Structure 1
Amino acid sequence: MEFSEVVRRRRMVRDYDPDRPVPEAVVERLLDNALRAPSAGFTQGWAFLVLDAAADRELFWTATGPDGPATSRWLAGMRRAPLIVVPLANESAYLDRYAEPDKGWTDRDPARWPVPYWQIDTGFAALLMLLTVVDEGLGACFFGIPPDRTARFREAFGVPEAYDPIGAITIGYRAADRRSPSLRRGRRTVDQVVHRGRWG
């Protein structure tokens, strides 16, 4: 697929065909492509938790979802995804990298960073996964893990404290298409969001 077509087709998919697993070759390709993301200082301070076994996916939804049965259409559709990937960011890796001689911030002070690049870089990696999914003819949805569920998620999967989930990605073949209510908002135009030389 041409790159422009991949970008044009990329959107969040919230309902999946539970009877069609993601081929292992596709899983490997999307993870390999994620590793091509840019990172500050070439730190590559990310990790990816791959949940493709039914028991692991159920544990994920139990740990991160609301207590009680899944009653929302959104959650019911998302739970049918045969694959979940959780991108994790490691702040310490960046603080360590920038304390090395070629960078020289030996105090490891996170206040030196104008924004948390460990999260941004992991987000870049997640976007490359989302684009790869489209190129492979599948669908995906990036969504957040509620802050009050993060500890349960960590405990459920033994995630070290150094790694913070920036969200999660459901991946699979799309179920019969349903138009998301969010799409009714329409896409903002270039003129609405681009400012050349000076704002306004």
Structure 2
Amino acid sequence: MEFSDVVRARRMVRSYDRHRVVAPETVAELLDLAIRAPSAGFSQGWEFLVLDRPEDVRRYWEATTEPDAPADPWLQGMSQAPVLILPFSDKSAYIDRYAEADKGWTDRDEARWPVPYWHIDTGMASLLILLGAVDAGLVGCFFGVPGSAEAAVREAFAVPSRLTPIGVISLGYPAPDRRSPSLRRGRRPVSEVAHFGRF
């Protein structure tokens, strides 16, 4: 598939065919794409928790949903995804990298970072997984770990404290799905968002 076709075909899919598994080698290929994302100072401050066994996927949903709450349509569709990948950012990898001799910020002052590149770079790695999924004939969705459930996710999967979850990527094959009502807003055109020379 041409790259421009992959980009244009990518969308957030929230309903998955629970009867079709994703081959482990496909997941490995997607992770291999992810680690080719750019990162400040080649810090590569990302790690990925792959949940590709039914019992692990189930543990994620148990950690992030109320046990007695009725399953809404979003949860019913998303919980059928056979693979979840949780990307984590590691701020310490950037602080440590920029304290090395070729960078010279020996004070490790976080104020030197006008934006948290550890999150941005991990987000770019996540997008490569989503684009790679389209190219592999899969669908996916990026969504957040509920703040109220972060501690439960950390406990359920022994997540080191130095890592910050930036979201979850669900992967699989599509099931019948309804288009998100948000799409009614329409895509903002380039003429509205691109500014040449000045705003």
TM-score band, normalised by shorter chain: over 0.9
Q: Alpha carbon RMSD of aligned pairs, Å?
A: 1.0
Aligned pairs for 1:68-87 (under 5 A) are 68-87=68-87
In 2, the alpha carbon distance for the partners of 1:73 and 1:177 equals 10
Name the structure 2 match of 1:147: 147
CA contact (8 A) 2:88 2:122 kept: yes
Aligned residue type for 1:87: P
Alpha-carbon deviation of 1:110?
A: 1.2
Aligned pairs for 1:33-112 (under 5 A) are 33-112=33-112
Alpha-carbon deviation of 1:183?
A: 1.3
- What secondary structure, in the 3-state scheme, does the structure 1 residue paired with 2:86 have? strand
- TM-score, scaled to structure 2: 0.97
In 2, the alpha carbon distance for the partners of 1:142 and 1:111 equals 29
Alpha-carbon deviation of 1:68?
A: 2.2
CA contact (8 A) 2:17 2:175 kept: yes
Please list every run of at least 4 consecutive aligned residues from structure 1 whose deviation after the TM superposition is greater than 3 angstroms.
Answer: none
Q: Deviations over 1:126-182 (max 9, x none)?
A: 000000000011100000111121111101100000011000010000002321111
Between the two proteins, the alignment pairs up a number of residues equal to 199
Unpaired runs of 5+ in structure 2?
Answer: none
Aligned residue type for 1:192: E
Name the structure 2 match of 1:23: 23
Q: Deviations over 1:10-67 (max 9, x none)?
A: 1100000000001112101100000100000001111000001111111101112244
Alpha-carbon deviation of 1:70?
A: 4.4
Unpaired runs of 5+ in structure 1?
Answer: none
Alpha-carbon deviation of 1:107?
A: 1.3
In 1, the alpha carbon distance for the partners of 2:94 and 2:70 equals 38
In 2, the alpha carbon distance for the partners of 1:2 and 1:94 equals 34
CA contact (8 A) 1:85 1:169 kept: yes
Aligned residue type for 1:82: P
Structure 1 range deviating more: 127-136 or 55-64: 55-64
- TM-score, scaled to structure 1: 0.97
